[in-house]
Amino acid sequence: MGSFSIWHWLIVLAVVLLLFGGGGKIPKLMKDMGTGINAFKKGLKEEKGAAEAKDAETARLERSDVAASAERKETVKS
């Protein structure tokens, strides 16, 4: 394990230039990642909202079924 040769330094330099040079590639990647995370969170909220709306609709239908049943019992008794 000797010191680094010129080829090692050229490879390291090439990697550094690819990562940090040329048009801000890392900021673009981080922006895209942030956008993806926000879209994922929004999707979770929409899914949760849809489930809650479905539960509310089911509860409303059950209440109307109970009320209709009570009305039928009242008309049968009369």
Run of H or E including 23: none
Flag whether 61 is in a domain.
yes
Per the structure, the count of domains in the chain is 1
Contact 26, 19 (CB under 8 A): yes
What pTM did the predictor assign? 0.41
Domain extent, residue 41, equals 6-77
Print burial letters for 17-41: b (CB count within 10 Å at least 16), e (below 16): eeeeeeeeeeeeeeeeeeeeeeeee
Per-residue pLDDT of the chain (78 residues; tens, 9 = 90+): 568 899 999 999 888 887 777 667 777 878 888 999 999 999 888 887 777 777 777 877 777 776 666 666 666 665
What CA–CA distance (Å, rounded) separates 71 from 38?
49
Give the model confidence (pLDDT) of 22-38 as tens digits.
Answer: 667 777 878 888 999 99
Q: Does residue 1 lie within any of the structural domains? A: no
**Rounded to whole angstroms, how far apart are CA atoms 31 and 14?**
24
In a domain, 68, yes or no: yes
